[in-house]
Amino acid sequence: MPEISIINTKSANFHSVKKAIDLYNPDTLVTSSQQEIKNSKGIIIPGVSSTDTVLQNLSQLKLDKVILDFYNSGKPILCICVGMQILFERSEEGQIEGLGILKGEVKKIPQKNSNEKEFKVPHMGWNQVEIVKKDKIFHDIKDNSEFYFVHSYHCVPEDQNLIISSTEYSVSMCSGIKINNLYAFQFHPEKSSFDGLKIYKNFSELVSGLK
Amino acid sequence: MLTKRIIPCLDVDQGRVVKGIKFKNIKDAGDPTELAVFYNKEGADELVFLDITASHEKRKTIVDVVKKVSSNVFIPLTVGGGIQNSIDMGLMLEAGADKVSVNTAAVNNPKLINICSKQFGSQCVVAAIDVKKINNNKWLVYTHGGRTETEIDAFEWVKEVQERGAGEILLTSMDRDGSHEGYDNELLYKVNTIVSIPVIASGGAGKLQHFLDALIKGKADAVLAASTFHYGKFTIKETKDFLKKNNINIRK
């Protein structure tokens, strides 16, 4: 059984995620096997494409329940981009109900800010991540470092206390969340060069219990 | 605040980078991975690989390039050149590309953009558009690497690719490409007022001031250059320092 499973939602590009985590943990696997996921010490839920596609695939593979159980077991989870958005109750992007681990919703990024200034959507490129809550997942990463984003929807959690990082665009967006041992980021650490890799390193160490 | 992106573009022929890079610390100027690692360290925000392999049988060499580069460099990677259909695009994404650019095939069959953006998501689909200025207010789209003129108006086409689901536009001015006289900022500005998706400026970089002009006058979201970086006229770091000094938001 792998130590860390990267959940194959059949709709994401896992290549970079796998290569990134492999740098810090040789025992990882891209899988959609319920058994392998259940027996892992940590899981990563990557996400490209849309929330509906990912949720539909998870449900077909009967992995939605597996993820919920894994979360309830308290073992570490790392969710990326759409992998973060599916945790919420609903999304403006789609029709399918989210996993509901997090209360709140996923909203379209507004094309104008409060001063009527125009912003492009998708929010694509490197933007600053302000660390609002210190956490070991940010170990060795400076506050306001840039990470790579590409998304058109953003997460709005009901409980603001769960937000560990935020990012300014047309609105102030939640870019990082922690609830129990689950971490979720809107940006792509596997595309964020050296700082991004530190997230994988820190997560890997968290799974191995070194910290 | 979102930063402006600096993107080196590498031409790949049968798995090797051509128009090689002239830096002392590069051992093999033809090795795509070594160059990608170099540019990543230099602070490139993204990389574009353009496959110019003419021979059809040797086209799959680019897949191995993408696999290798994306296993070693963790920044966004766009691959283009000769993409015919959604199968080609899927192969690139599977190999580790983050975005795939389509050019001639999309002009010939615009539905390709709808199909690919639906299947893989808009964020993966880059519309690469080559244009030439015809008169004061008119720019036309060219295909086949700029060799074939179409009757398509550039401003109509950028609108259309956005509506069909492209996530980004890579806009090359054929007039400026290779000229080192600066980007076509008038074209860039016009396109940027029409579309709401990000636009990458391409063609014409020769001085540091050109990047600044494309970002301010042209309102571009990103600037791409090939030979200017490869031949070490100035480095990515010098470019970034210059732009920062001029109050452009740039990744540290």
Question: Could you tell me the residue ranges of all domains in chain A?
Answer: 4-208
Rounded to a whole number of angstroms, the distance from the CA of A79 to the nearest CA of chain B is 18
Q: Give yes or no for residue A197 having a pLDDT over 90.
A: yes
pLDDT computed for residue B22 by the predictor: 59
Are B133 and B171 spatial neighbours (Cβ–Cβ below 8 Å)? no
Task: Over range A21-48, report the average pLDDT.
Answer: 94
Residue A145 amino acid letter: S
d(CA B7, CA B36) in angstroms, rounded, equals: 11
Instruction: Tell me what the pLDDT averaged over chain A comes to.
Output: 94
If DSSP states are collapsed to H, E and C, what string results for A196-211? HHHHHHHHHHHHHCCC
* pLDDT, one tens digit for every residue, chain B (252 residues): 999 999 999 999 989 888 655 556 666 778 899 999 999 999 999 999 999 887 777 778 999 999 999 999 999 999 999 899 999 999 999 899 999 999 999 999 999 999 999 888 888 999 999 999 999 889 999 999 888 999 999 999 999 999 999 999 999 999 999 889 999 999 999 999 999 999 999 999 999 999 999 999 999 999 999 888 888 788 999 999 999 999 999 998
Reported as half-sphere exposure (CB side, CA atoms, 13 A), residue B80 has a value of 24
Active site residues of A: 81, 188, 190
Number of H helices, E strands in chain B: 10, 11
Residue in this structure with the two tokens 């959609």, named with its chain if needed: A32
* A74/B contact by beta carbon, under 8 A: no
| A191 → closest Cβ in B3, B98, B168 | B98
Residue in this structure with the two tokens 């001031």, named with its chain if needed: B209
* B213/A contact by beta carbon, under 8 A: no
* B165/A contact by beta carbon, under 8 A: no
* A169/B contact by beta carbon, under 8 A: yes
Provide the 3-class DSSP secondary structure of residue A34: helix
Are B158 and B195 spatial neighbours (Cβ–Cβ below 8 Å)? yes
Provide the 3-class DSSP secondary structure of residue B48: strand
d(CA B251, CA A22) in angstroms, rounded, equals: 26
Which one of B13, B31, B88, B130 is the catalytic residue?
Answer: B130
Instruction: Tell me how far CA of residue B43 lies from CA of A13, A142, B171, in angstroms.
Output: 24, 17, 22
Ranking A12-16, A40-44, A97-101, B206-210 by mean pLDDT, the lowest is: A12-16
Instruction: Tell me how far CA of residue A38 lies from CA of A2, A10, A85, B180, B222, in angstroms.
Output: 10, 18, 22, 57, 43
Are B80 and B89 spatial neighbours (Cβ–Cβ below 8 Å)? no
Give chain B's domains with CATH numbers: 5-245 (3.20.20.70)
CATH number, domain A4-208, options 3.40.630.40, 3.40.50.1980, 3.40.50.880, 3.30.465.10: 3.40.50.880
* B123/A contact by beta carbon, under 8 A: yes
For residue A128, give the DSSP letter: E
Task: Over range A48-59, report the average pLDDT.
Answer: 87
| A120 → closest Cβ in B1, B98, B198 | B198
* B124/A contact by beta carbon, under 8 A: yes
Q: Based on the residue annotation, tell me whether B51 is a catalytic residue of this protein.
A: no
Contacts of B40 in chain A (CB under 8 A): 193
- Beta bridge partners of residue B200, listed in sequence order: B170, B222
Q: Which H or E run includes A98?
A: none
Q: Which H or E run includes A67?
A: helix A63-73
Shortest CA distance from B94: residue in chain A:
A13
Nearest CA among B10, B11, B5 for reference residue B46? B5
Q: Do A127 and B94 touch (CB under 8 A)?
A: no
pLDDT computed for residue B188 by the predictor: 98
Which of the two residues, B233 and A63, has the higher pLDDT score?
A63
Please count the residue pairs, one from chain A and one from chain B, whose beta carbons lie less than 8 angstroms apart: 92
Ranking A71-75, A89-93, B229-233 by mean pLDDT, the lowest is: B229-233
Task: Over range A33-44, report the average pLDDT.
Answer: 96
Nearest CA among B82, B139, B113 for reference residue B197? B113
Convert the pLDDT of each residue in A40-53 to its tens digit. 999 999 977 788 88
